Structure 1
């Protein structure tokens, strides 16, 4: 079996806890992660002034094929994801190919902005609900999976979200092994 590969899209204002937790969990599961900056700079300044340096700029890697495209939240970061044509093109290609798309916190608004997954079950940070309820079946679960779309609520749900991505890409046993190694006892 070939190694799974993912891309996590970062813009200034991204929620750093979500980004780092997801990257860490995926790498613990031995899933390749490309951290891609959608900005012109290699280092992103996140919502709490933490800087994360990307592996690549999106324009250099957007034509690759990914098993999952992952969008962390953060209000300003999510707005940038929503306004990026490159992000929209990547998400549309991913959806057309039936590959996994995962968005947490405010990032499901970027799915809406690019016309991704309309009618599917999703969740988001609570204050984003009103922007999403007309186009999706909105739930308030910590993590919601509907076909190839995984969404989650916010920083406190990032571990469960990351483990759900591992389970979808690999299997339940792999997710449980990562959870056990992190002493994350709530993942069952």
Structure 2
């Protein structure tokens, strides 16, 4: 992953309860490749990551969903985590951002339970995606073609199943941003 992403900006959309490694793993890879990363959330201040079912670290929120401008970002990353994903999917600001980014055909990278936001934003119909296995029915019922693979790229959508897939996820995200 030696591609330079200098000048690229990536937004991570989260609320409390995101799977911490699904933020920190891609964030570190993007920053090492030269990208600037910002954490966006519904509220200013900090958001709390989780290590599966246990609270973990706090992270600074750079902007709220309402303060964010889609033209400021070259891609969006949606970490999973059940609590985060169940909350963020209902947030109209988060839905608005992913719809704008999608409309500009910029990469939207989603891992684990993060696909719930794409379902609520009505972006999965006719798309091939993967996710954590418990989201399979939700994605299929929303019109997606679900596959059990480490990483799937369908147009501007990049999806992965779980933390074990983060290296493949990072590689595809960096590749998409390098294009």
Q: TM-score, normalised by structure 2?
A: 0.89
- Is residue 22 of structure 2 the alignment partner of residue 14 of structure 1? no
- Match of residue 173, structure 2, among 159, 165, 171: 165
**What 5-or-longer segments of structure 2 have no aligned partner?**
none
> Do the aligned residues in 2 keep the contact of 1:42 with 1:57 (CA within 8 Å)?
no
Q: 1:161 to 1:131 in 2, by over 3 A?
A: same
- State the partner residue of 2:100: 93
The farther-off stretch of 21-30 and 64-73 is: 64-73
What is aligned with 1:119? 126
- Give the C-alpha shift of residue 24 in structure 1: 0.4
How far apart are the structure 1 equivalents of 2:81 and 2:173?
19
The CA distance in 1 between the partners of 2:63 and 2:73, in whole Å, is: 14
Q: Gaps (5+ residues) in structure 1?
A: 172-188
How many equivalent pairs are there?
A: 170
1:139 and 2:151 aligned: no
Partner of 2:55 in structure 1? 49
| 2:132 is the alignment partner of 1:129 | no
Question: Would you say the 8 A contact 1:81–1:110 is kept in 2?
Answer: yes
The answer to whether the aligner puts 1:72 opposite 2:72 as a matched pair is no
TM-score scaled by structure 1?
0.85
Query: Alignment partner of 2:89: what SS?
Result: helix
Aligned with residue 162 of structure 2, among 126, 147, 154: 154
Q: CA deviation at 1:53?
A: 1.9
